[in-house]
Amino acid sequence: MSVRNFAANTIESYLRSVRYLAKHYMISPDRLTQEQLLDYIYFLIKERKLAPGSVNAVTAGLRFFYKETMGMKDMALTIPPRKTPRKLPEIFNADELSRLFSMISNQKHRTMLMTAYAAGLRISEVISLKVGDIDSGRMSIRIKNSKGGKDRYTILSPRLLLELRAYWKNYRPKEFLFPSQIKGGQLSLASPDLIFRNTKKKAGITKAVTFHSLRHTFATNLLEAGADIRTIQILLGHSSITSTAIYLHVARQDLGSISSPLDLIDLSALDRFKVQQ
């Protein structure tokens, strides 16, 4: 997997899939039968009640193990593809974003969440940012070795630049823009998520939004502001424009000018009926 330049998270996910399978049966996975393999997947769905996306992550690791590592193609073909329901992402409205940011008294934490939203970043990209990645001359932020091992540039908001400068004056980060308190190293993936969940609770936001929803909101707001879908794809770093196209279903770009068919019906008789009642 390292030779194929798989991301560290993918490697860990694949290893975990094989490890849990071996632990479930307490025998080496290469000694399992096709029936046992299918029974395990059924167990994940019915007993563990894993979401379709989680099941697909497990089966991807198992397919790689059997097909590429062990050369057991028949076992790999035993694993059926599982359709993942396409759900529209939850996004913040302007009031919720304002409440979210205003609830954070810690300047470092506030700037971190604002950066994620203003630049459309994943958690892994936020914690990997370095001071030198902020280019105020070109008003851009360089994202290095992101998902799929790709580099890209995204926009640097003038408002975010002011926040970053104020943050830098107080914290003076040396390498990582948002370093861990332990020797200034890289933050763990769990840290920004914990900060987000605590702040969401303080802000009284009850929507099923996550840290990643900041990225979804960034893309949706750009689309509503008139940015074309191809530009948004580049800013997000999506390999396929299909992934970006989902925001067409979320954005309210044209909804304000569309009338419901109900508004086109003459309901004056209904109004007279209500008065009589």
Active site residue 212: yes
216 is catalytic: no
Q: Which of 24, 212, 216, 230 is catalytic?
A: 212
Catalytic: which of 66, 117, 167, 247?
247
Give yes or no: 108 in active site.
Answer: no
144, 147, 152, 202: which is the annotated catalytic residue? 147
**Structure tokens that stand for 8 in this block:** 């560290």
Find the helix or strand (DSSP H, E) in which 243 lies. helix 241-245
Encoded tokens for 170: 């107080």
Does the annotation count 153 as an active-site position? no
Ramachandran bin of 205, using left for φ above 0, alpha for ψ from -120 to 50, beta for the remaining angles:
beta
Amino acid present at 82 = R
Annotated active-site residue in 215, 230, 249, 252: 215
**DSSP bridge pairs for 140:** 135, 155
- In the sheet with 152-155, reading across from the earlier edge strand, the strands are 134-135, 140-143, 152-155
Question: What CA–CA distances, in Å, run from 54 to 44, 57, 60, 82, 272?
Answer: 9, 5, 10, 11, 56
C-alpha span between 80 and 50 (Å, rounded): 16
Which of 109, 122, 200, 216 is flagged as catalytic?
122
Nearest one of 92, 78, 95, 71 to 38, comparing CA atoms: 78
Question: Does residue 238 carry a catalytic annotation?
Answer: yes
Instruction: Report, as residue numbers or ranges, the catalytic residues.
Output: 122, 147, 212, 215, 238, 247
